[in-house]
């Protein structure tokens, strides 16, 4: 039961990330032509005709609710959702839940990222490291990590620990894989040049290997963040007494579909927000790549 809810809950997150990538695509294709700032701003917003169908759907939804076709215990009307969002925000309930969830992701992500990057670097930089670290990690990777919840509950109880552990686990694998691959993918010709130029081992690491691994590492960061939100949503289904998951589960008991939708929208917004942050980091860190001569 919890898994099917998980699928439904996960969907807003995934759609959010696909729209995010499509906007990236348009914005990266548009600017190289130069053009005015106004054109660039317009390029970032979808074309007007792309607004039509979403708006029609929302209006239809509202109309169906008003006509009684869509009863509020199945799905609340958009305007009701909006009103409860304002109410929840005003009462501080939403902010509290938001803060709890965010801190779970933050702690879990930091732990998972540290482990993933560290192991990826060890496996990438040393042959022995690879021989020792890679096999067990690849084996563990085949386990569906969301299926570990029962074990985690037995190990960590039902408090904060299993939720954070789940997030950390979700983050660690994609980061490990991408950091490892990124380091291994460092261009041998550049390393050779560095050798001839008399780079020290540290200089080689800092100026050749690490920057070479960054693009792939950022891919891992994005995948890791997506996994983090997914893990959080699922982890919060398990006996949460605070956070967005608690808000949603509580609302379910009272048939408050409006609150459930608000919670889902907040999840989606958070996924979008972190994705935007990564894109910002990408644009800053990889700016040497975007300036290719036309």
Partner 1 sequence: MADHDTRVSAYAARLSGVRKTFGGRQVLAGIDLTIARGEFVALLGRSGSGKSTLLRLLAGLDTPDEHPSDSARANDSARANDSAPTSASAPTTTAEPTGAGVEGGQPDGSGTVASDAADERERSTAGVEDAGDAADRQPVATTTARPPVDVPGRVSVAFQDPRLLPWRRVGHNVRLGLRRPDADEVAERTLAEVGLAGHRDAWPLTLSGGEAQRVSLARALVREPDLLLLDEPFGALDALTRLAMHRLVLELWRRHEPAVLLVTHDVDEALTLADRVLVLADGRIAAEHPVPLARPRRRADLAELRARVLDHLGVSAHAVA
What is the binding site for partner 1 (CB under 8 A)? 124-127, 130, 183-184, 186-201, 203-204, 207-209, 211-212, 214, 287-289, 291-293
User: Smallest Cα–Cα separation from 116: which of 170, 156, 66, 64?
Assistant: 170
Q: How far is the CB of 277 from partner 1 (least distance, A)?
A: 21
Cβ atoms within 10 A of the Cβ of 168, count?
21
Q: Give least dist CB 135 to partner 1, A.
A: 16
Nearer to partner 1, 4 or 200 (CB): 200
**What minimum distance in Å lies between the beta carbon of 118 and partner 1?**
17
Radius of gyration of the chain, Cα coordinates, nearest whole angstrom: 23
**Least distance CB 124 / partner 1 (angstroms):** 7
- Smaller CB separation from partner 1, 44 or 289: 289
Residue closer to partner 1 by CB (options 4, 291) is 291
The Cα 76–Cα 207 span in angstroms is: 55
**Shortest distance, position 122 Cβ to partner 1, whole Å:** 11
* Shortest distance (Å) from residue 221 CB to partner 1: 17
- Residue 31 C-beta: closest distance to partner 1, Å: 15
CB proximity list for 225: less than 8 A, separation 6 or greater: 109, 171, 271, 274, 275, 278
Kindly tell me the burial class for residue 257, based on how many C-beta atoms sit within 10 Å of its own C-beta (0-12, 13-18, 19 or more): buried
- Closest to partner 1 by CB, 38 vs 201, is 201
Indicate left, alpha or beta for 77 from its phi (over 0: left) and psi (-120 to 50: alpha).
beta
- Choose between 202 and 254: whose C-beta lies nearer to partner 1: 202
Of 113 and 209, nearer to partner 1 (C-beta) is 209
Nearer to partner 1, 164 or 221 (CB): 221
Residue 200 Cβ, how far from partner 1 at the closest point, in Å? 8
Question: Given the complex with partner 1, which of 64 and 125 has the nearer CB atom?
Answer: 125
């Amino acid at each position: 039961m919890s898994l099917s809810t998980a699928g439904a809950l996960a969907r807003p997150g995934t759609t959010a990330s696909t729209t995010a990538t499509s906007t990236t695509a348009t914005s990266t294709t548009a600017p190289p032509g130069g053009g005015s700032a106004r054109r660039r701003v317009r390029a970032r917003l979808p074309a007007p005709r792309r607004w039509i169908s979403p708006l029609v759907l929302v209006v239809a939804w509202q109309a169906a609710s008003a006509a009684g076709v869509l009863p509020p215990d199945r799905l609340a009307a958009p305007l009701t959702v909006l009103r409860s969002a304002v109410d929840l925000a005003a009462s501080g309930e939403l902010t509290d839940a938001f803060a709890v969830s965010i801190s779970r992701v933050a702690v879990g992500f930091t732990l998972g990222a540290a482990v993933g990057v560290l192991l990826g670097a060890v496996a990438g930089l040393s042959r022995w490291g690879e021989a020792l670290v890679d096999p067990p990690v690849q084996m563990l990777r085949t386990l569906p990590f969301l299926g570990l919840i029962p074990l985690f509950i037995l190990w960590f109880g039902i408090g904060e620990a299993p939720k954070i552990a789940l997030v950390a686990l979700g983050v660690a694998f994609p980061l490990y894989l991408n950091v490892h691959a990124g380091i291994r993918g460092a261009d041998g010709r550049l390393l050779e040049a560095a050798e001839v130029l008399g780079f020290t081992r540290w200089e080689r690491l800092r100026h050749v290997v690490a920057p070479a691994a960054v693009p792939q590492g950022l891919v891992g960061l994005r995948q890791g963040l997506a996994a983090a939100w997914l893990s959080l949503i699922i982890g919060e289904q398990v006996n949460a007494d605070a956070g967005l998951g608690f808000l949603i589960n509580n609302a379910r008991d009272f048939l408050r579909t409006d609150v459930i939708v608000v919670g889902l929208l907040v999840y989606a917004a958070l996924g979008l927000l972190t994705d935007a942050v990564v894109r910002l980091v990408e644009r800053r860190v990889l700016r040497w790549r975007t300036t290719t001569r036309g």
